[in-house]
Amino acid sequence: MDQETTRPTVTIYSTPTCGYCKLAKSFFNEYKVAYTEKDVSQDIKAQEEMIAKSNQMGVPVIDVNGEIVVGFDQDRLATLLDIRK
């Protein structure tokens, strides 16, 4: 199977001051996971999108192929991203 077709779609809704958001992004970078970052402190449309997906306002909210992870749940993210630590 072509690796490009199996690459997950990852979006992280975050703010610049969120410590757990920074941990999540470091985790993605360590395992070379491509992601899109949306700063909900500056982007109202992204904030509304995040609330619609998660039903809450805390960050980080991480969307992995439509599966929503609230907070930095490293084990769940590793499972969803098929990362073997």
Q: What is the CATH number of the domain that holds 26?
A: 3.40.30.10
Q: Is residue 1 part of a domain?
A: no
**pTM of the complete model beyond 0.75:** yes
Identify which of 82, 80, 62, 79 has the alpha carbon closest to the alpha carbon of residue 70.
62
The residue range of the domain holding 46 is: 8-80
Q: Is residue 76 part of a domain?
A: yes
pLDDT at 22: 98
pLDDT at 5: 52
Residue 76 tokens read as 């769940």
Question: Cα–Cα distance between 68 and 63 in angstroms, integer?
Answer: 5
**Facing residues of 67 across strands?**
64
**Count of domains forming the chain:** 1
pLDDT at 7: 80
Q: In sequence order, what E strands does 1-85 have?
A: 10-14, 36-39, 61-64, 67-70
Q: Is residue 3 part of a domain?
A: no
Question: Cα–Cα distance between 44 and 4 in angstroms, integer?
Answer: 31
Q: Is residue 25 part of a domain?
A: yes
Mean pLDDT for each consecutive 10-residue tract of the chain (85 residues)? Answer: 66 98 98 97 97 96 97 97 88
35 close to 10: Cβ distance less than 8 angstroms: yes
